[in-house]
Amino acid sequence: MKTHAARPQYDVHPGVTVMRKWADALPEKTGRSLDEWADLARRATPDHKARIALLKNDYGLGGMTAGQIAAYAADRQTWDGDPEVYLKQAEKYVEALFAGPKAGLRPLFDAVVAAARKLGADVKVCPCQTIIPFYRNRVIAQARPASKSRLELAFAFEDVPFSDRLVLNPRAKGNDRLRHLVGLTSPADLDAEVKGWLKAAYAADA
């Protein structure tokens, strides 16, 4: 099994704070804590969809609230409202994204993380299940292994022109800020031009 000498350190996703505040407000808003709702759902039925329906139909909870409670009831160890749990999951998210045929892209991803970290101490790397966003105040860039040989790196800036290399992000919809995208296939592709785009995205979020 291959190992990596240096693993990037990840940061708590801003959404974790949002989830924690939501959970802390549950007792006042609903009369029960998150754990109390989860215990109620577990006792009622083992089925995830049935738990959501129960919480909505029998207890009048909103769809988002019911869904989050059902998810927590299913496996509280993956719940993203706890910073320690999230950081453990973040490592697993990255391992899963770069598993199997995409494992060869891991050194390239690690190099992107290292380049982003050099921009400033306020850069945060916050993996999700399908993407790895980079934050300053807001998302400044986002990485994803698009195939076994191509890492996509999208940027959030406005005043940088598109080119043969820096193209329109085909997944950018509506008000999506990550409209610029470059495809990378090896650490050598992370050259001065790409690092310059990272720096521009960082500066744009000052």
State the amino acid at position 10 in one-letter form. Answer: Y
| pLDDT > 70 fraction of the chain, expressed in percent and rounded | 94
The whole-number pLDDT of residue 76 equals 65
- On whether both 46 and 112 belong to a single domain, the answer is no
Number of structural domains, the chain?
2
Answer whether residue 133 is part of any domain.
Answer: yes
Residue 178: its pLDDT value, please?
97
- Contacts of residue 111, defined as CB under 8 A and 6 or more positions apart, other chains included, come to 187, 190
Place of tokens 């029960």: 32
* Mean of pLDDT over the chain: 92
Q: By the 8 A CB rule, do 184 and 146 touch? A: no
Q: Are residues 112 and 187 in the same domain?
A: yes
Confidence class of residue 186 from pLDDT cuts 50, 70 and 90? very high
Say which range, 9-23, 48-62, 161-175, has the weakest mean pLDDT.
Answer: 9-23
Q: What is the pLDDT of residues 134-157, one digit of tens each?
A: 999 999 999 999 999 999 999 999
Give CA–CA dist 55/65, Å, rounded. 9
Whether 78 has a pLDDT exceeding 70, the answer reads: no
Q: What is the arithmetic mean of pLDDT over 48-75?
A: 93
Domain that holds residue 177: 101-204
| Residue where a domain stops, chosen among 83, 114, 144 | 83
> What does the pLDDT read at residue 5?
44
**pLDDT for residue 169 is more than 60:** yes
Share of the chain above pLDDT 90, in %: 79
Residue-level length of the chain? 206
Residue 90: inside a domain? no
> Is 91 a domain residue?
no
Same domain, 73 and 28: yes
Q: Classify residue 63: in a domain, yes or no.
A: yes
pLDDT of res. 84 = 86
How many Cβ atoms from other residues are within 10 Å of residue 32's Cβ?
Answer: 16
Do 27 and 56 have their domain in common? yes
